[in-house]
């Protein structure tokens, strides 16, 4: 039971990060029907930029660890916003009328470009996250939860709530929903569709930057290749919940985190030691394939008829 | 005729001009051409976007490696292993195809991507508790391909001309590439080829026209996969060593890029794409020399820079020529149509 609870907590923390990244995928897909393959790389750049700032500050200024990390995030977020904006402007906007494969290929191209750029700037080695955050832990019903885990979970939930409020309550949110539903009609109603799309990328990238820092803090390191798997899993989460649906992305992210965590924890027992926790990454893909085969619209997605 | 002489003399010209390494690169170019032609059946003909194609290449390669290496002490001949590789890879293709028949477009792309990763992760981890694939270390000492007792792994002298291993493989790969090309060409205008085109353009209409879309789609997956399986077997024999690292997602993407850059559905375009994307990254290695010449020192490690330039090239190519270098006649018409001035331009095209 302790192990179950422990894995559940770990899964929820990991899942909340997946959910944050998944939001970026789902917002873009909802509006453009485009898989923004480069989104995982934006997350990675966010983590790397923040780590550079943190690395430069640690040991030179006498500030508490939380403040230093916050300063790193404050630099990483605008950098990623600019990056997201540029990616959309340069790689996707000119191809809106091209066949669907074309933007997919540019997305892959941007992804390769960013990965290798990061490799040139930050090197091939793992970049360490300095141990400046509180590592205190608490015992809850036999399971251990750290300050960092609580912090990640709470901050993720706050960001998600903020995003939902933005989309549901503000004028910009209404414009976004209108654009997702019917871009031409939205344009006729006076919505500046292009700037709505730009803003969608900017918001998604800002959230991705924060998620990137969370992952780096949680695992204690960052790597130029980290965005790939993270992006893939976040996309899986978005599909699991029903792509294009904000609540779906959050649910999908949390669920995927829990499935992965429990799966990795129990697979050894289930298969009699034949498969170990090194199969953790397989779960995401099995879940993805199962969902797409059994319920292609995702858990919370609307059932849409097949389009000819 | 002239082309035939050129193709036959190519390895010797390249060997004399650029060195032995480039003959090997030439061999790889032919391997990638076979792979690209195989994927072209799935993506170009039938319009099913497959991002996990490398899995079939991996299946073929591992099958060859397991049955012709000291791993299990088996040393089966290649003429048995290649058809077997095609068959097993074809079965894997059906395995992937069957549950994904209802999916379209992007969703299919993601499922195939997941499938490719699953295959790779299994190959990486199937070394415990029973050692099958030897895990991340991969399988080495794979038997070279040998035809009628003549091993292609060694240098032979024939009629006074010295054939190195790279040269011999070149001729084998060339023959098989031509075969695959011939099959592709014949398939395109066959009954099945026309059925694939119909599904690609409009699946619902194709079904209404009496095409058994399920079987025809499965056939596309199986055919494309079996081409991949054969190439994989050849790769294992040629390289003598395989590991899961050779079969990552980037490879799948690379092959997809070959056919998209070259011109989807067009055999000449696909071949050109495969050629450029194999030779270009190799040629980009010379950036180091350029830096030394221009700046008198190495500023950026060329190995890092070449993938960056590759990504950039992909983006630029898509922005300025999304139809590929040599598009098929039909796609060329579609693009011309798209270029016509559209007054009330839709935000994005509906799913094709």
The full DSSP string for B212-232 is: -HHHHHHHHHHHHHHHHHHHH
Residue B341 has pLDDT above 50, yes or no: no
**CA of A285: which chain B residue's CA is closest?**
B114
CB spacing of B99 vs A289 below 8 angstroms:
yes
C-alpha dihedral sign at A18, A20, A26, A28: negative
Supply the mean pLDDT for chain B.
79
User: What is the mean pLDDT of the segment spanning B225-233?
Assistant: 91
pLDDT tens digits, chain A, 308 residues: what are they? 577 888 888 899 999 999 999 999 898 888 888 888 899 999 999 999 999 999 888 878 778 888 888 999 999 999 999 999 999 998 888 888 777 777 888 888 898 899 989 988 888 888 888 887 777 788 877 778 888 889 899 999 999 999 999 998 999 999 998 988 888 888 898 889 899 999 999 999 999 999 999 999 988 888 888 888 888 889 888 888 888 888 888 999 999 999 888 887 777 676 666 666 667 777 777 887 788 778 777 777 665 444 33
List chain A domain ranges: 20-227
Alpha carbons B344 and A120: distance in angstroms, whole number = 44
Alpha carbons A121 and A117: distance in angstroms, whole number = 6
Place of tokens 């996990």: B52
DSSP assigned state of B147: E
Identity of the residue in A100, A115, A232 whose CB atom sits nearest the CB atom of B351: A100
Structural tokens at position B285 = 């290695």
CB spacing of A108 vs B310 below 8 angstroms:
no
Task: Give chain A positions within 8 Å (CB) of B251.
Answer: none
Report the length, in residues, of chain A.
Answer: 308
Alpha carbons A146 and A150: distance in angstroms, whole number = 6
Other Cβ atoms less than 10 A from the Cβ of A281: the count is 18
Q: In the Cβ-directed half-sphere of B303, how many Cα atoms lie within 13 Å?
A: 3
How many Å lie between the alpha carbon of A138 and the closest alpha carbon of chain B? 35
Test mutation, B250, B277, B322, B325, chain A, max A CBs within 10 A: B322
CA distance between the termini of chain B: 41
Identity of the residue in B204, B310, B314 whose CB atom sits nearest the CB atom of A106: B314
CB spacing of A232 vs B113 below 8 angstroms:
yes
How many Å lie between the alpha carbon of A302 and the closest alpha carbon of chain B? 15
**Is A46 exposed, middle or buried, given 0-12, 13-18 or 19+ CB atoms closer than 10 A?**
buried
How many Å lie between the alpha carbon of B309 and the closest alpha carbon of chain A? 7
**Residue B324 to residues B142, B180, B271, B347: CA-CA distances in angstroms?**
38, 21, 12, 23
| Residues in contact with B333: Cβ distance below 8 Å, sequence separation at least 6, in sequence order | none
Residue A254 has what pLDDT? 93
The whole-model pTM stands at 0.80
């Amino acid at each position: 039971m302790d192990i179950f609870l422990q894995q559940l907590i770990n899964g929820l923390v990991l899942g909340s990060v997946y959910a944050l990244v998944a939001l970026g995928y789902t917002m873009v897909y909802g509006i453009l029907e485009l898989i923004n393959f480069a989104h995982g790389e934006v997350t990675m750049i966010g983590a790397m930029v923040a780590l550079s700032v943190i690395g430069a500050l640690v040991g030179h200024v006498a500030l508490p660890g939380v403040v230093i990390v916050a300063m790193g995030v404050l630099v990483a977020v605008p950098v990623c916003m600019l990056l997201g904006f540029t990616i959309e402007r340069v790689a996707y906007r000119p191809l809106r009328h091209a066949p669907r494969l074309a933007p997919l290929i540019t997305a892959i191209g941007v992804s390769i470009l960013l990965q290798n750029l990061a490799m040139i700037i930050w090197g091939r080695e793992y970049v360490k996250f300095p141990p400046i955050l509180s590592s205190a832990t608490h015992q809850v019903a036999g399971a251990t939860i750290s300050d960092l885990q609580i912090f990640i979970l709470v901050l993720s939930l706050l960001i998600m709530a903020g995003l939902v409020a933005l989309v549901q309550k503000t004028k910009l949110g209404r414009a976004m929903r209108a654009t997702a539903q019917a871009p031409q009609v939205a344009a006729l109603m006076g919505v500046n569709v292009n700037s709505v799309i730009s803003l969608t990328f900017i918001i998604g990238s800002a959230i991705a930057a924060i998620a990137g820092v969370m992952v780096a803090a949680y695992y204690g390191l960052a790597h130029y290749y980290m965005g790939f798997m993270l992006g893939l899993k976040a996309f899986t989460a978005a599909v699991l919940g029903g792509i294009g649906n904000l609540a779906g992305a959050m649910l999908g992210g949390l669920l995927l985190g829990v499935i992965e965590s429990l799966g990795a924890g129990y697979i050894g027992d289930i298969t009699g030691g034949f498969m170990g926790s090194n199969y953790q990454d397989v779960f995401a893909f099995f879940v993805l394939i199962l969902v797409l085969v059994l319920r292609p619209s995702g858990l919370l997605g609307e059932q849409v008829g097949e389009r000819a | 005729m002239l082309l035939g002489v050129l193709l036959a003399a190519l390895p010797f010209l390249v060997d004399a001009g650029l060195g032995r390494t480039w003959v090997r690169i030439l061999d790889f170019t032919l391997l990638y051409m076979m792979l690209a032609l195989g994927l072209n059946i799935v993506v170009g003909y039938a319009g099913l976007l497959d991002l996990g194609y490398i899995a079939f290449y991996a299946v073929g390669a591992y099958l060859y490696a397991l049955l012709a290496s000291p791993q299990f002490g088996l040393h089966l001949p290649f003429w048995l292993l290649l058809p077997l590789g095609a068959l097993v890879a074809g079965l894997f293709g059906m395995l992937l195809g069957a549950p994904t028949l209802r999916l379209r477009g992007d969703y299919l792309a993601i499922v195939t991507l997941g499938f490719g990763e699953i295959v790779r992760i299994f190959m990486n981890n199937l070394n415990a508790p029973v050692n099958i694939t030897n895990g991340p270390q991969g399988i080495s000492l794979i038997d070279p391909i040998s035809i009628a007792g003549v091993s292609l792994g060694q240098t032979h002298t024939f009629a006074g001309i010295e054939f190195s291993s790279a040269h011999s493989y070149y001729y084998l790969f060339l023959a098989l590439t031509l075969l695959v090309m011939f099959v592709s060409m014949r398939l395109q205008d066959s009954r099945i080829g026309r059925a694939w085109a119909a599904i690609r353009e409009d699946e619902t209409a194709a079904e209404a026209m009496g095409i058994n879309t399920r079987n025809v789609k499965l056939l596309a997956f199986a055919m494309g996969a079996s081409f991949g399986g054969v190439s994989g077997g050849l790769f294992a024999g040629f390289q003598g060593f395989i590991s899961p690292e050779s079969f990552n997602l980037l490879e799948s993407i690379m092959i997809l890029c070959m056919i998209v850059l070259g011109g989807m559905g067009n055999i000449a375009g696909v071949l050109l794409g495969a050629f450029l994307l194999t030779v270009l990254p190799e040629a980009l290695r010379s950036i180091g020399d350029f830096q030394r010449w221009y700046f008198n020192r190495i500023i950026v490690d060329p190995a890092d820079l070449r993938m960056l330039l590759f990504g950039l090239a992909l983006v630029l190519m898509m922005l300025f020529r999304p139809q590929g270098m040599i598009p098929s006649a039909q796609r060329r018409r579609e693009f011309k149509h798209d270029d016509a001035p559209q007054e009330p331009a839709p935000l994005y095209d509906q799913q094709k």
